[in-house]
Amino acid sequence: MSLLTLENIQKEYGSRELLKGVNLTVHRGERIALVGDNGTGKTTLLRIAMGEESAEKGKVIIGKGIKVGYLTQKLNETIPDKPFETALNYEKVAIMERRLRKLEESMSEAKDDQLDEVMRKYSNLTREYEAIDGYNIEVKIKTILLGLGLREEALTIPISKLSGGEKMRVALARILLEEPELLILDEPTNHLDIKAVEWLENFLKKFSGGVLIVSHDRYFLDQVATRVAELHGGITTEKSGNYSTYLEQKRIRKEFILKEQKRLIREMQQTEELVQKFMSMRKIKAARSREKVVDRLKVELKQQQSIEKEEHLINKTMPMLHFKKAGHISKNIAWANDLDKSFDNVNIFSKVSFQINGGEKIGIIGPNGCGKTTLINILLGKDKDFQGEAILGNWVKFGYLGQEITFEDETRSIIQEVQYKKEMLEKEAKRYLSRYQFFGDEVHKSIDVLSGGERVRVYLATLMLDEPYCLIMDEPTNHLDMAARDVLEKAIIEFKGTVIAISHDRYFLNRCITRIMEIENSKINSYMGNYDKHRNSKAKLQEANKQELKEKSKMPILPKNLDGNNAKDNEKTKEIEAEINSLEEVIKELEKSFDTHTDYKEYLNYQELTDKLNQQYARWEQLQ
């Protein structure tokens, strides 16, 4: 069933024709990724679909009675600054729940003449509770809030009181809780940590409606997309499958087109030679016959070149970005010994030790708020309020790219900024800037009018003029489109120096990183390899820990005559460990079965089992 149909959508801004007849259909069960370079009109197309912008021509058809959930990047414009209705319903549910529990207690204490009245109240309140969908509201809200890493009260706080990251997650939570049939999501993974993104991936995979997504998160699109529509030159080209499949299909198509072009050019040359030969031999009729063949081949070649252009198979005419060869690379670049750090009595780091060697490419990961940027600030000497040792060698020539890109004078043009950093002629500066995808008159644009991605590229261009041999980066792929990310990643792969990068971009972490440092529970755990290897290593470690716990539960109990109290404690410990193993297995199986149609009773059962597991762990710790 078609949920959304866009027919021949055309949009102009002044003399610029942005959309030249876009056709796109979203069916139930499809998850379509709308991709393309920055500025090609992806967000504009979504806004037209939602009626926020008008098109010069074309139709937008949304299925009759279809409920649409729309996540925009301009949150302040679209989300009312008031608590969420579903959250208020949840508050009502919570109050009714407390009253039900109180009545249950009263039942056990009530005398015969009071019991009927208590039962009547309980029955009436239960009907009210079910009428407002109490069981499902509670479970849905808790599941989605937990998945997106939000505190329970987040939905009841006015949007203006939330941070940028919380706004995005709250907006997404609100949309998912409304249970739409069609989701239109513009950069949904912005401000989500890896755990939250993985939760969203699983949610969307089980979602029975249709999804239209704009995202630069390539790993996310690999996990979620069933079809890719690339917007380029005002039209879309579609391929079935996820993002990697789309890239492979595009590569194969490009190879075929190029081979065809070479064949046609070769055949044209051979035919033209025959024409010249026939003309010299005064075989006019034969020459004219071959000229017709040449004309036909020219038409075919033009068609092939048109296909190449329409399907965006032409590589951008830009030089490859190359970072200059790193200078002296020390064995030790940075290290920490027994590092302790806390904020407001909350431990960020506790007895943390690590070492980073020259030439390594380190990816620092962890949930939002775990201390990733704090660690970088400590190494850079920006934060000195800590105990223990944390050092970035004073001999290390480093370049730092932070999340907030600022310039001393934003009225300078791009080329002036580069020439201010290093004296060079305009021709040389233009050639240098072309490596960072700035061409022609673009170099004269003022910094204060640049997009986020352009600012990153300018900053990176000035940074690399210092020729650092250690790059420290905080979310380096933020604001970059897919083409720019690809260029940056290739440069990092070839760079022989050290890279220390904070990132939630799993595609980047897989492609560029040689060691993962994960911040978790105030500790830093190190895993050799890229993100996928880290994931596999961690899964194996967790499984080994479970097996160890199982083995411990099977160990013989100490004889009572050695120490009566110890023997009793050991016996209790074994019983608790066996119970923990049993509960974890049941919980694991339940988690696998969860989807959007799971009955609320299953969630309640899951909650009870989780509570029991936590209680058993608490008992186990007391006995250690």
Query: CATH number for the domain including 505?
Result: 3.40.50.300
CA-to-CA distance for 25 and 144, rounded, in angstroms?
28
Asked whether residue 239 is assigned to any structural domain, the reply reads: no
Query: Within this chain, do residues 459 and 488 fall inside the same structural domain, yes or no?
Result: yes
Q: Which single residue is written with the structure tokens 């309640």?
A: 604
Name the band, by pLDDT with cuts 50, 70 and 90, for residue 69. very high
Give yes or no: residues 253 and 398 share one domain.
no
Greater confidence, 613 or 246?
Answer: 246
Q: What is the bridge-based pairing of β-strands 182-186 and 346-357?
A: unpaired
Q: What single DSSP character describes residue 355? A: E
pLDDT for residue 554: 60
In the predicted model, is pLDDT for residue 181 greater than 90? Answer: yes
The string of pLDDT tens digits covering residues 188-223 is 998 888 988 999 999 999 999 999 999 999 999 999
Whole-angstrom distance, CA of residue 557 vs CA of residue 566: 10
- Structural domain count of the chain: 3
Instruction: Report whether 268 contacts 302 (CB < 8 A).
Output: no
CA distances from 490 to 8, 289, 321, 322, 465 (A): 37, 50, 8, 8, 18
Residues 340 and 297 in one domain: no
Distance separating alpha carbons of residues 535 and 517, to the nearest angstrom = 12
Q: How is 222-239 classified by DSSP, letter by letter?
A: HHH-SEEEEEETTEEEEE
On whether both 295 and 347 belong to a single domain, the answer is no
Which residue in this structure is represented by tokens 């009245």? 117
Instruction: Collapse the DSSP code of 276 into the 3-class scheme (helix H, G, I; strand E, B; otherwise coil) and give the result.
Output: helix
Is the CB of residue 210 less than 8 Å from the CB of residue 29? Answer: yes
- Residue given tokens 């297995």 in the structure block: 585
CB 395 within 8 A of CB 467: no
Is pLDDT above 70 for 168? yes
Q: What is the mean pLDDT of residues 318-338?
A: 71
> Is residue 68 a part of any domain in this protein?
no
Encoded tokens for 558: 């100490």
pLDDT at 415 over 70: yes
Mean pLDDT of 549-567: 56
pTM of the model: 0.74
The DSSP element (H or E) to which 417 belongs, if any, is helix 414-421
- Residue 235 structure tokens: 């039209």
Alpha helical stretches, state H, 23-161: 42-49, 75-78, 85-109, 112-131, 134-147
Domain boundary among 534, 567, 583: 534
Give yes or no: residues 263 and 338 share one domain: no
Q: Which has more confidence, 80 or 487?
A: 487
What's the whole-number mean pLDDT along residues 348-377?
93
Please tell me which residue, 451 or 303, carries the higher pLDDT value.
451
In this structure, the answer to whether residues 274 and 417 fall within a common structural domain is no
Kindly state the tokens that stand for 150.
Answer: 């939000």
- Give the model's pLDDT for residue 244: 93
**Res. 125 pLDDT band, cuts 50 70 90:** confident
User: 363 pLDDT exceeds 90?
Assistant: yes
Q: What percent of the chain has pLDDT over 70?
A: 81
Answer whether 482's CB lies under 8 Å from 410's CB: no
Q: Does residue 365 share a domain with residue 292?
A: no
Distance CA 435, CA 437 (A): 6
Q: Is residue 5 part of a domain?
A: no
In a domain, 235, yes or no: no
Q: What is the pLDDT of residue 320?
A: 57
CA distance 132 to 142: 17
Q: What is the pLDDT of residue 598?
A: 53
| Same domain, residue pair 279 and 347 | no
Residue partners of 485: CB distance under 8 A and separation at least 6: 216, 218, 477, 505, 507, 508
Averaged pLDDT, 529-539: 90
Average pLDDT over residues 56-80: 83
pLDDT of res. 379: 95
Judged by average pLDDT, the poorest of 76-85, 224-233, 293-302 is 76-85
- Rounded to the nearest 10 degrees, how much is the dihedral formed by the CA atoms of 220, 224, 229, 230? 10
Say if residue 612's pLDDT is above 70: yes
Give the count of beta carbons closer than 10 Å to the beta carbon of residue 507: 23
At 603 the pLDDT is 54
* Boundary (domain end) residue, out of 468, 500, 534: 534
Please tell me whether residues 272 and 341 are part of one structural domain: no
Q: What is the pLDDT of residue 422?
A: 92
Average pLDDT, the chain: 83
Q: Is the pLDDT of residue 523 over 80?
A: yes
Counting residues of the chain whose pLDDT is more than 90, the rounded percentage is 39
Each residue of 18-46: pLDDT tens digit? 999 999 999 999 999 999 888 889 999 99
For the segment 215-241, the average pLDDT, to the nearest whole number, is 93
The larger pLDDT score, comparing residue 474 to residue 136, is at 474
Give the strand order in the sheet containing 387-392.
346-357, 332-343, 387-392
Say if residues 213 and 33 touch (Cβ distance below 8 Å): yes
List pLDDT tens digits, range 563-583.
555 666 677 777 787 788 887
Cα-based distances in Å from 401 to 389, 463, 477: 24, 8, 11
Answer whether residue 293 is part of any domain.
Answer: yes
Residue 91: pLDDT band with limits 50, 70, 90: low
Query: What pLDDT does residue 596 have?
Result: 45
Flag whether 278 is in a domain: yes
Q: What is the pLDDT of residue 560?
A: 46
Domain that holds residue 578: 555-623
Q: In the predicted model, is pLDDT for residue 503 greater than 50?
A: yes
pLDDT score for 565: 57
Which tops the pLDDT comparison, 282 or 369?
A: 369
Average pLDDT over residues 284-306: 70
Q: What is the mean pLDDT of residues 609-613?
A: 73
Question: Which among 27, 28, 22 has a CA at the least distance from the CA of 7?
Answer: 22
* Packed helices 194-206 and 134-147: angle between N→C axes, nearest 10 degrees: 140
| Burial of 460 (C-beta count, 10 Å sphere; 0-12/13-18/19+) | buried
Of the candidates 500, 534, 568, which is a domain's last residue?
A: 534
Task: Report yes or no on 457 lying in a domain.
Answer: yes
Contact 372, 366 (CB under 8 A): yes
Q: Are 359 and 329 in contact (CB under 8 A)?
A: yes
What does the chain come to in residues?
624
Whether 562 and 433 map to the same domain: the answer is: no
Is the pLDDT reported for residue 317 higher than 80?
no
Mean pLDDT along residues 449-472: 89
Q: What are phi and psi of 577, to 5 degrees?
A: -65, -40
Residue 78 has pLDDT above 60, yes or no: no
- Which H or E run contains 22? strand 16-27
Top pLDDT among 83 and 383 is at: 383
Domain identity same for 414 and 486: yes
Cβ atoms of 466 and 327 within 8 Å: the answer is: no
Same-domain check for residues 367 and 515: yes
- Asked whether residue 315 is assigned to any structural domain, the reply reads no
pLDDT recorded at residue 594: 56
Which residue type is seen at 207?
Answer: F
